[in-house]
Structure 1
Amino acid sequence: MGDYTKLTISEIAEIFELYVTDSIESFRALSLGISNSNYEIITANNKYLLKVSNDKNKEQVLDEMRILEELRKSDYPYSIIPIKTLSGELVYEKGSYYGVLFPFVDGIPPGPGDSTCFEIGMALAKLHITKANTEGLRPSEELSYPASIIAEYSKQSTCPDDFKELLDGLLQDRLQKYLTTNFDKGIIHGDLYYDNTLFHNDHIVAVLDFEQSGVGEFILDLGISISGSCLEKGRISLPLMESYLRGYESVRPLPLIEKEFLNDAVILGLFSIALWRIKRFKEGTLNPLMADSYKQLLYRAEIFKQTVETND
């Protein structure tokens, strides 16, 4: 899924020359991500991850790297630091290609489970408490879809009927209350599903793909992450959600207002990612075969609401 841009060995070598003088011994395409093509590159001395952007323009990729730079300065332990080109650039450009080179981090994406959820919750909370300077960093709504954009989209004629009807049915007057509440803000990841992490010996070692990151509300970031990490048989598991929150609150105790709106944030998190899929796959051309994949997230939101009400 990550090999949309087919690079030849000579094209990879030309990009690699922007960084180091090592010769490439081998490379292989990795099936990671949707918005990038990813390659593992092995030299005599090191191993690297080369990313070629398929979906974002160069400035958007550079904005992401600026966020990673701020996290490096703030000693966030789980982000991977991009390698600069020999001329000091964070993002390379070679012909029609642009992207980033990272050091390769060994680890595996975990499966969902109590310890996985605890670790991811802890990692997200550590992101939310960083003292990074957010001045000049992009707002999250430039690339992701917070509640205000979801609400506005639901009023447009292009909005699918099932999206609008389910949003109204699941949240009703809660959405307006959510929109008029002031929540804490800072750097958010925007897409922290468990498959955007690497684990080693059952502990998280890296948080990947800050492509949707920006300055936004912590509560929606939490809702998105729970909606894609606390899964059991394709549904959000309340016990896994409890494990996630134990990990999160071991670092950052939730303010009372965030506890009050947490379940709404999980639902909005699902609608946020659903809208991302609509924009990329249904209205856009990134992968037309996935045009209706947003429906899976709407169904998950509906089941989650039913599960919460049953357990109240």
Structure 2
Amino acid sequence: MGDYTKLSATDAQNIIDLYGLGKITSLSSLSLGISNSNYKIEIDGSAYLLKVSNDKGFDHLKEEQEILTHLSESGFKFSLRPYSTKAGENVYIYEEYFGVIFPFIEGIAPGPCDQTCFEIGRGLATLHSLECDTEDIRSHHSVGFGPQEIVEYTESEKCPDDFKEIVEYIFPDKLVSFMELPLEKGIIHGDLYYDNTLFDENHLAVILDFEQAGVGEYLFDLGISISGTCLEKGRINSSLIDSYLNGYEDVRPLSIFERENLDKAIVIGFLSIALWRIKRFKEGSLNPLMANSYQELLSKAKIFWDDRTNNE
């Protein structure tokens, strides 16, 4: 997965020429990513990651790179800054292709464990603690699926019955009480699962894939991250949540409202990514073989919610 667009050596060189980086000495495709085709390129001993967008629109991709540039300029150490073309653009256009180029970072994608959760918790809290101007940053609602989008989707004709049933089962008030909470906002990642990170010697090195980043509620972002990171044998593990929160609160303590509503945020995290999969795979054509993959997230959401409510 990830090598959807087949770039020839000539195509890759022509893209690199837009940046003036030199002559390619090595080109290899990488089986990473869903929305992009990815290539590792070597030039005079330096390595670069060339990404070709398969799914994202040009404007959304450009907005994403503007966020990454903004984070870099604000001192956030866990994200990559895109290279600019000779024309000063952070997204290239070549024939029918468009995409970005990043420095290539060596690292290991971790598995769920206490250290992984602690480190990712610290990383997300560092993002949430960043002091920067968000006036020109897009809203997460323009690219992702928060509580309002989840509720609105359940009222649409396209909504699968099982998705609607889970939302109504867990949130009979249609998430009204959650959406009325006075939650702190800022730049969020929107999809920080453990497989969107690289580690170096058991420490977080890079956070990847900011395609759903934007201005949103920190608690919502925390719920998404925990739902996809604190897992053991396909289920949320309470001990891993504790490790995650230890790392997170080492940098940014939770507010009373955030702590009291964390379980709801975790369920919303499952539902948000489930809706993303429905839109991309079931309604869209990004990967038809994954059309029903959203159902595993609905199952995880119900199991987690039942476990929490039964133990109260």
* TM-score, normalisation: structure 2: 0.98
- Residue 311 of structure 1 and its aligned partner are, at CA, apart by 3.4
Q: Partner residue of 2:281?
A: 281
Letter in 2 for 1:266: I
The aligned counterpart of 1:153 is: 153
Equivalent residue, structure 2, for 1:35:
35
Q: Percent identity?
A: 53
> SS at 1:24's partner residue?
coil
Q: Distance in 2 between matches of 1:161 and 1:299?
A: 14
Aligned length, in residue pairs: 312
- Secondary structure of the structure 1 residue equivalent to 2:27: strand
Pairing of 1:124-273 with structure 2 (within 5 A)? 124-173=124-173, 175-273=175-273
Contact 1:174 1:264 in 2 (8 A): no
Q: Which deviations, in whole Å up to 9, do the C-alpha atoms of 1:133-171 show, x marking residues without a partner? A: 111111001110010110111111111000011111122
C-alpha distance in structure 2 between counterparts of 1:70 and 1:44, whole Å: 29
The Cα RMSD (Å) is 1.0
Structure 1 residue 294, shift from structure 2 partner: 0.4
Change (3 A) 1:100 1:170: same
Which residue type is aligned with residue 56 of structure 1? K
- Per-residue Cα deviation, 1:112-146 (whole angstroms, up to 9, x for no partner): 10000000000000000111211111100111001
Look up the SS of the partner of 1:127 in the other structure.
helix
C-alpha deviation, 1:182, in angstroms: 2.3
Paired letter, 1:239: S
Contact kept, 8 Å, 2:271 with 2:298, in 1: the verdict is: yes
Deviation at 1:310, TM superposition (A): 3.8
Match of 2:300 in 1: 300
> Deviation per CA, 1:86-135, whole angstroms, max 9, x where unpaired?
12111100011011000011111101100000000000000001112111
Shift of 1:243: 0.5
Task: Quote the residue 1:25 is aligned against.
Answer: 25
Q: Structure 1: how far apart are the matches of 2:179 and 2:86?
A: 46
* CA distance in structure 1 between the aligned counterparts of 2:9 and 2:145, rounded to whole angstroms: 37
| Aligned position for 1:107 | 107
Structure 2 unmatched runs, 5+: none
Q: Distance between the aligned counterparts of 1:271 and 1:118, measured in 2? A: 24
Specify the alignment match of 1:83 in structure 2: 83
Describe the SS at the equivalent of 1:75.
coil
Q: Which runs of 4+ in 1 moved over 2 A?
A: 171-174, 309-312
Alpha-carbon distance in 2 for matches of 1:235, 1:21: 45
Q: Unpaired segments of 5 or more residues in structure 1?
A: none
Deviates more, 1:168-177 or 1:158-167: 168-177
Alignment partner, residue 12 of structure 2: 12
- Name the CA distance, whole Å, in 2 between partners of 1:137 and 1:160: 32
Structure 1 Cα separation of the partners of residues 275 and 18 of structure 2:
37
Alpha-carbon distance in structure 2 between the residues aligned to 1:187 and 1:82: 18
Is the contact between residue 144 and residue 190 of structure 1 (CA under 8 Å) also seen in structure 2? yes
1: CA distance between counterparts of 2:277 and 2:115?
Answer: 29
1:256-304, Cα deviation, whole Å (9 max, x unpaired)? 0011111000000100000000011111111111110000100010111
